[in-house]
Structure formats: structure tokens, C-alpha cells
Amino acid sequence: MKKLLNIGFSLFVFGGFLVSCKADDYGTVQSIDKIKIDSVKLVNDTMNVSGIQRIKTYSTYQSQCQGFYGYDYVYDTEFNRTVTAYKFITNEPCTQANYASVNQINFNPQKRGIYTLRFWNGGNNWITKTIVVE
């Protein structure tokens, strides 16, 4: 009898899980693509080693079916970084209306020096920012 109750309880829990996960209100991500960074805001152009600076990037999306996916943050050399932003595109129905979005990188240098950060702005264009780390 105890075994039968355990099996019944397990089926009840599993069935509840299936019902709760059967559908969602979000579209499926169809693709990931680069999105240009329109502008970059630094809090300070000088900071201390091991400090954290929140660097904000601003991008414009063409519809509500697009949103921020992530960054490609590449260490080109010891003190040079390139940053490319990526967007996701879903298959849900939505209106074509531009909207701006802000995202953030937490810059945490571990060595003193002059860092050059380049943010992709479309084509062969880059927004260049310099941070002196003391």
C-alpha cells in the first residue's frame, strides 16, 4: 500500500510539473545577431586596480521582438579590449517600433596601466574609451 501511495504521489507531482511547463508566453529565439552600440557612458576615466566601474552601453532595437543577448568581450592585448553587443530576435508577433536599451559591463582591471576599450558601432566603426588604472 505504501508503495502504491508513493507511485501515486510521484505521478501527481510529475503531472503538475508537466502542466506548469507546457506553455509559456514568450516567443522562441530565432537568431542572434550583432547590434551596434550607439553610445558609451563611463563613470570615471581614472580608477584603482581591482576597483569595479560600471560601464553603460546604449543600443537601439527595431522592435519589441528584439532584446539584449550579451557581450563579446575580447582581450586583444594586455591593455586593449574590444566589446561587441549581441541581440536576440524572437518569432513572436510584435510591432515595429524603435526603443533604446541600456546595458552594463562591470570593468574590473587587475593591473595598472592605460586601458583602451573599443565598442562596436557598426561596420568598421568603433567608439573608443580610455581608462587610466592606478
**In sequence order, what E strands does 1-134 have?**
29-35, 39-41, 46-47, 53-61, 66-75, 80-90, 99-107, 113-120, 126-133
What is the assigned CATH class of domain 27-133?
Answer: mainly beta
Q: Where are the domains of the chain?
A: 27-133
pLDDT tens digits in sequence order for the chain, 134 residues long: 444 444 444 444 444 444 444 344 567 999 999 999 999 999 999 999 999 999 999 999 999 899 999 999 999 999 999 999 999 999 888 888 999 999 999 999 999 999 999 999 999 999 999 999 99
Q: What is the pLDDT of residue 91?
A: 87
